[in-house]
Structure 1
Amino acid sequence: MVQVEVLIVGGGIAGLTLAQWLSGLERRWLLLERGELGGCLRESDYPLKWVPGFADISGRDYVARLLAQVPTEHCRSHTTLASIAPSPTGGWRGTLSTGESWAAQRVVLACGVAPYAPFAPHPRLIVGPGLMQLAHLQAGDAVAILGGGDNALEHALLLHARGCVVTVYTRGAFRASKAMYQAASHAGISLQPYTPVDELADAPTGLCLPQLAGQPVYAAVAVYYGYRPPAILAEFPALRGASGAGLAAGVDMIGDMRENPDPNLLLAQGQAAQLAKQLDRQLA
């Protein structure tokens, strides 16, 4: 059995920052990550423009620097919770997807969020940010972008610079920052507010939007409708409080799972650092 003081579920920026701090405080921890360590930033080549002291560092390089400071022998990638329950002697216990048993005094959920789209998967459908997802698109390709926030317009600008013919549809008004909206407008990108897209259909050369006049056909449709938290609380009801709301005693949550109104990397890392100090005071 693996016995630690803190079980961290999620190996993105928040989970890794918590692990780094707990290591510095000489606390015993185990971190689980269902994919590769680093979360959504691990494959990101976007510059992180707002991180003090790291001007224009990419998400990939930022993750690499953080991983260099974390004892990764205590991290388990491609590993998830299989079961979890309160321990009769206090704390929590359960099993991992690897079959191992574990026990911990505290559990911290840092599972992040996943990009959301209401459409069925399709080879020409792109969901959520990521340069690698756009790599196959070439100059002259017609691309529809669904969403009205900064992510949608930033990807529209990237594709426009590549020579793609880009149209952005949003259900209501655009929510992007003034600077991003102006940049897209000045670039000549077609912006279509108050134009909901509720259906996609196959066409011989791509995807079409059948509810729109003329049924335009696109080489790809990219959706930036935001994110949804993972289903871990539904999968493991024991993590919830006695009333079904909130979290059970001995369970904490950090990062994007907290559905902060203005999520950002610095906020996630700040929550992790604050929780590490609280746990250090509270653990026996």
Structure 2
Amino acid sequence: MENKTPGKLFLCATPIGNLEDITFRVLETLRSVDLIAAEDTRHSIKLLNHFEIKTPMTSYHEFNKIDKGKYLVDQLLQGINIALVTDAGTPAISDPGEELVRMCLDAGIEVTSLPGPAACVTALTMSGLSARRFCFEGFLPTDKKERNQVLERLKNETRTTVMYEAPHRLVRTMEILEEVLGDRRIVFCKELTKKHERRMEMTCREALACFEKEEPRGEFVLVIEGQDPEVLLEEERSSWEQMSIEEHMEVYTDQGMNRKEAMKAVAADRGVSKRDIYQALLDHEQGD
């Protein structure tokens, strides 16, 4: 029996609103592959019809990603080329497509990504907040313990954070963010690339007041200002200053540092010179 050359999985980014944002390469790929795996075929058929694409579709979503994933991998191993599309944006970002990518790579199937729209990057670049370093959280976990772990990490995150939120959870999410992050600055984006695109910059408290008056509609992208590194440094120094220099020294000597290394570490923690620490320890010893 002849061994067939495996097909290829194409991750095709589709418009997040404006249909004109689709790339020529994605259009050509959607026309040339044997099968399109779509998160919602009822949604994607509108896109295909708009561009007169007749390629067969099958559904691939969160609730069938294991069984359908196995089927798609089998098809790819038989030499079928498949394009994966999500409802909007780039597949595998906060999307079950990441599972299919992993399954394909494990099976030795080639995967390629055709770049295009992504709501997280679109919102970040128009937010006006720092885009040099950022992190992406997608949707907050629904499990309370897991969500609290994520929020605890975000509390001291100095990078800009991008996340998604559904309208019915937005007010509760803002209450939680204010409690954990304080009155942080946030840019809210919705209807990106569409006629009624909106960008709203508010603090947590302002956002709560706004959305309690006006019921939020549609999915939001939240771009959250990172914690000020100077504030973190001051908080850390303040916490160290709650203990005496002798107790502070013991923190490091108990870890195996010699006295010289410990003095250097204590000085760095407190934002003073090693000479200052040495003199303080000397004054304490002479006082005893």
Normalised to the residue count of structure 1, the TM-score between the two structures is 0.29
Please state which structure has a larger fraction of its residues in strand.
1
Say which structure is richer in helix.
Answer: 2
State the TM-score, normalized to the length of structure 2: 0.29
Which structure has more RCO (C-alpha within 8 Å, separation ≥ 6)? 1
